Amino acid sequence: MYVCLCNGITDRQIRQAVEDGASSMRELRRQLGVCGNCGRCGPEAREILCQTQCRVAAEKVTIDLPPVPALTQPAWAAG
């Protein structure tokens, strides 16, 4: 979907720029030209920036769990 009609910038281009390291509207403006003319794309571009930053951060989260103990028959069931 086109977000910035003035420069023909799509939501995919914004997401890719964020995944490649853009972390602010200033960086998106410098890299893509978003919000550089009329400014109507600003709120939508900022929303995509925030959503993508959250998704990228969530993908980096790892949970270090202890190993699962071996399943054995309980002592009371031995017979």
Among residues 45, 63, 53, 67, the alpha carbon closest in space to that of 23 is found at 53
Residue whose structure tokens are 């571009």:
45
Q: Residue 3 has which token pair?
A: 């977000």
Query: What are the pLDDT digits (tens) for 15-74?
Result: 999 999 999 999 999 999 999 899 999 999 999 999 999 999 998 888 888 887 777 766
Inside any domain, residue 67: no
Query: Range of 42's domain?
Result: 2-60
Total domains present in the chain: 1
The number of beta carbons lying within 10 Å of the beta carbon of residue 29 is: 17
Inside any domain, residue 27: yes
Give the predicted TM-score (pTM) of the model. Answer: 0.76
- What is the residue-wise DSSP string for the chain? -EEETTTTEEHHHHHHHHHTT--SHHHHHHHH-TTSSS-TTHHHHHHHHHHHHHHHHHHH----PPPPPPP---GGG--
Inside any domain, residue 77: no
What CATH number is associated with residue 27? 1.10.10.1100
